[in-house]
Structure 1
C-alpha cells in the first residue's frame, strides 16, 4: 500500500506562516540527494537560516534575560542553536515526511537523521527570511524556540564559575574559599567551606569533597545575593 503523500498545508499550519513564494519552501525541503536537486538543495538556505536564527535567538535572549552577563547569554545561545535543538524543533514541525531525498537515503531512514532535520529547520528559517523578511523569520523562531529558551537542555554554568563571573561584573576581586571545618574519617571526610566576595556577606557550603563544598558555598552566595533564584538553582 502506497504511503499517503503528506499535505503541505499541515506543515504550513504548524509553521504558522504562509509563503508567497512556495518554491523557497520546496528548496528548503530538498536534500542534495533528491532526484533533479541540482543546485536547488537546501544547503544555501541552511547557511542563511543559521545566521538568521543566531540573530533572532540573540535578540530573544537579550530581551528575556536583561540581567544576564555576556557569558551566560553566549552559553544560552550555543545551547539553542546547536544541532540537537534545531532537530527538536524540526521534529515538532513534523518536517521529516516532507523532506525530498534520494531513494537510498529515504529507504535508510534519513528522514529521522538529526543532522538533516537540523539543517532543514535552518533552511526553512532562511526561506521565511527571504520570503517575508526578518520580522517574519524572527516570529517563527520565537514561536518554535520559546519552550527551549525556558528550559535549557544543558547546564549553563556551575556555581563557582557563575560566582566568579558575577564578581568580575561587579568590578570585585575573585571569590576566595576557605576550609573552616573538616570532620569524619579519612575515607569519608566532610568539608565546610566559607566563600568570601569583597563587600558581601560570607556564605558556607557542605560537601564530601572540597570541590563539592566550594560549589555549594558559591551557590549559597549567589542565592543570598539574589543573583540566582531558588526556583532555578536551589537544588544542586
Structure 2
C-alpha cells in the first residue's frame, strides 16, 4: 500500500529535498517535485532522487502549445520520472501530441514510460473561482468532462479531488488512474485546500494514489506519520 502514497516535496532547496528522500524512501512510493522545488534545484535534483532509489512524480502541470508540451514531457521521460502531468484545459490536441510522442520516444530509447496524467480542476479552486474565469459549469461536471477528454487523448489518468473520484471512475472505467491531492488525515489542518478527504475515504472513493505533504512534513515524527497513513490506507482497502 505504501507504493500508492506520494510525499509532496514542498521545500525550497535540493539539499532539504534529498534529506526528505533519504528519511522517507522506505515509507512512501513516490516523491512529488513541483514548481517551486524544480525551479530552485532543477533537473539535476530529479536525477539524484532517481539515482538514490526514489520514484518521482514531476508535478509541473505543462500547459502550452502541443509541440512545446511534448518536447518538455520527453525530457521528463529522459530524467527517469515515474509520473508527469499536464493541464487538461490545454485541450485534446496538446494531450494527444504529448502522449503519442512520449510513448514513441520511450519505445525507441528502451525507457519505461511514466504514467501520463492530466490535471482536471485544482483542488484549491472553488465554484466561484471557476465562474470568475468564465467557466459556468459545476466543478463536478468540468472534472468529469476533462477526465474523459484526457482518456480520449490517450493519457493514463488524472489528478483530481477524491470527491470527484467516483464520478471519474464511473465515466472512465476501472483502469483509469486517479491521483488525489488534498488528502488530510483526521484532525489535520485544511490549509489552502478546498475539496479534501481523509486517506481511507479517498481510497474508498476510488483514488489510486494519494498525495500528502504537510501532514507528514509537519508531524513531530514524520516517519511514524507516513506509516500511520499507510496503515489507514491498508485498513480501508481490506474493509
- What TM-score do you get using the length of structure 1 for normalisation? 0.22
Query: Which structure shows the bigger proportion of residues in strand conformation?
Result: 2
Bigger Rg over Cα: 1
- What TM-score do you get using the length of structure 2 for normalisation? 0.22
Query: Which structure shows the bigger proportion of residues in helix conformation?
Result: 1
